[in-house]
């Protein structure tokens, strides 16, 4: 079993040229940055807020903030990492507004170290996702990831869905590298366990599992 490859964002130097042009007042360059990253920001925002309208707002607010603060962007990180940090903060603010009864923080320590230890080891059927239609699968994946605490699902989405490196994820979330790694492991194991309910190998003639 080999390692999973990350998909990386476009060439960094080209991105920097666009950022510098945008800083100099070239709005077409900024629009190109929007075009390049709007899908990613939308996906991240919807994963965090779990709400389509909120995600649309986050896309607008994040880019508008980036535009207004472009002069402050130091170019020490990738523009995309900086943008993700703005978008994550906007999305968490939306979530707090929607769920004021629960404090939403990326720093929350969630349960004990043991809560994600595998309890269910049963193997999955081969190509388990093909047992469901695309719409059913999306529903399953969406509900499953929604069940994770925001601090876990945000790390999982940035690392595993968007392909940021551990260091970039840590920078975007203002977390330490060990904290990102620990959350990522627990998020992956919890998702695996929850998906097992849908993807488990079924014994023939036995409806109960």
Interacting residues toward another protein by CB under 8 A: 1-5, 7, 27, 30-31, 34-35, 38-39, 42-43, 46-47, 55-56, 59-60, 63-65, 67-69, 71, 117-118, 121-124, 128-129, 137-138, 141-142, 145, 156, 160-161, 163, 166, 181, 184-185, 188-189, 191-192, 195-196, 199
CB of 26 to another protein, least distance (A): 12
CB of 153 to another protein, least distance (A): 10
CB of 17 to another protein, least distance (A): 19
b/e per residue 101-140 (b: at least 16 CB within 10 A): eeebebeeeeeeeeebeeeeeeeeeeebeeeeeeeeeeeb
As a whole number of angstroms, the distance between CA 153 and CA 104 comes to 12
CB of 208 to another protein, least distance (A): 20
**CB of 88 or CB of 191, closer to another protein:** 191
CB of 101 to another protein, least distance (A): 25
DSSP letter string, 96-120? HHH-TTS---TT---S-GGGGS---
**CB of 96 or CB of 192, closer to another protein:** 192
**CB of 68 or CB of 207, closer to another protein:** 68
CA angle, residues 174, 177, 78, in degrees to nearest 5: 60
Token pair recorded at residue 154: 């945000």
As a whole number of angstroms, the distance between CA 147 and CA 141 comes to 10
**CB of 145 or CB of 173, closer to another protein:** 145
DSSP letter string, 24-79? TT-HHHHHHHHHHHHHHHHHHHHHHH--HHHHHHHHHHHHHHHHHTGGG--SSS-H
Q: Bridge partners of 200?
A: 124
**CB of 77 or CB of 166, closer to another protein:** 166
**CB of 2 or CB of 207, closer to another protein:** 2
CB of 205 to another protein, least distance (A): 22
């Amino acid at each position: 079993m080999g390692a999973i490859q990350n998909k990386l964002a476009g060439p960094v130097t080209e991105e920097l040229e666009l950022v510098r042009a945008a800083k100099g007042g070239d709005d077409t360059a900024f629009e190109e940055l929007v075009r390049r990253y709007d899908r990613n920001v939308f996906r991240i925002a919807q994963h965090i807020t779990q709400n389509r309208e909120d995600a649309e707002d986050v896309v607008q607010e994040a880019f508008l903030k980036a535009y207004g603060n472009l002069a402050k962007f130091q170019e020490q990180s990738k523009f995309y990492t900086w943008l993700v940090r703005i978008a994550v903060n906007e999305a968490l603010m939306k979530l707090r507004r929607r769920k004021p009864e629960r404090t939403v923080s990326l720093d929350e320590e969630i349960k004990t170290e043991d809560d994600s230890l595998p309890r269910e080891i049963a193997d999955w059927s081969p190509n388990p996702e093909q047992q469901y239609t695309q719409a059913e699968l999306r529903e399953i994946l969406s509900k499953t990831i929604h069940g994770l605490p925001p601090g876990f699902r945000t790390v999982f989405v940035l690392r595993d869905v968007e392909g940021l490196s551990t260091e970039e994820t840590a920078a975007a979330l203002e977390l330490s590298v060990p904290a990102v790694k620990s959350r990522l492991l627990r998020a992956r194991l919890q998702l695996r366990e929850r998906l097992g309910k849908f993807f488990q190998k079924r014994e023939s003639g036995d409806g109960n599992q």
